[in-house]
Amino acid sequence: MAKLAIIGGSGFGQINELNITQQKKIQTPFGEPSAPLAFGEFGGQEIIFLTRHGEGHTIPPHQINYRANIWALKDAGIKHIVGMGAVGGIRQDMAPGCLAIPDQIIDYTWGRAHTFFEQQQRKVVHVDFTDPYCEKLRTALIEAGQLAGVELIPSGTYGATQGPRLETAMEINRMERDGSDLVGMTGMPEAALARELELSYAACAVVANWGAGRGDGPITWEAIEACLDEGMDKAKAVLLALADNLK
Ligand code: HPA
């Protein structure tokens, strides 16, 4: 049974190296996931791949059914999830093209269905989220980077914004003062929902652009995509080493 799932974000809508053996359309108590779960073999291990923005990249960050995605993966027997995502760089060393394994989160999102614990609970549940990512899986990713010869920035704070618009220059300045090193739109509530279902979850962030006001001129999606193509190849090498290591 597959233990590892990869949730692919922008620039990572599919994995060509994945030998898909089965595609399963799943219903959950929270609705349908972004796409059918793709079961396949990757790096000699069975994994599940789920494209976060749907087939054809049609679901914007604030409309993703994060609960259905995480529930479906738990239901499929998954233990570990790596959430891939494109981000903007805020900290000086988080330049476009870099890969980072964040260790903290600041959540700026709002209005998203962000918990499984809202109805008919006998008791209110407050999960611990001091360390929002699974430290074991983060370490495994960092080791996989070393094995694959891919440089990874081993920590950083992921600032999760609502989107779908990009930020203003002042919002990025404020995020920096808060302590955010990276900015992305999909890191939350995904990480928190995985914690609620006691899944091991870590993120692999691919820096696609400088945060607003930090680069030359406006941010274009074309420039982001060009950068992602290269970053995602590196990310795939890391994931292959990880899959091999988790065997
Ligand atoms: N901001 C938010 N999300 C992003 C960015 C950004 O600059 N780049 C890629 N995803």
Q: Is 211 in the pocket of ligand 1 (CB under 6 A)?
A: yes
Measured between alpha carbons, how far is 59 from 56 in angstroms, rounded to an integer? 9
Q: Which residues of the chain have pLDDT under 50?
A: none
Sheet strands (E) in the chain:
4-8, 19-24, 37-42, 45-51, 80-89, 99-100, 104-107, 157-160, 182-184, 200-210
Ligand 1: centre distance to CA 211 (Å): 7
Q: Return the pLDDT at 22.
A: 94
Peptide bond just before 33 cis, omega within 30 deg: no
CB under 8 Å to 100, separation ≥6 — which residues?
87, 94, 152, 153, 154, 155, 156, 181, 182, 204, 205, 207
Ligand 1: centre distance to CA 89 (Å): 8
* Domains of the chain, residue spans: 4-245
Ligand 1: centre distance to CA 163 (Å): 9
Q: Is 86 in the pocket of ligand 1 (CB under 6 A)?
A: yes
Q: Is 81 in the pocket of ligand 1 (CB under 6 A)?
A: no
Ligand 1: centre distance to CA 198 (Å): 28
Look up the CATH superfamily of 4-245: Nucleoside phosphorylase domain (3.40.50.1580)
Which two tokens mark 51? 């494209």
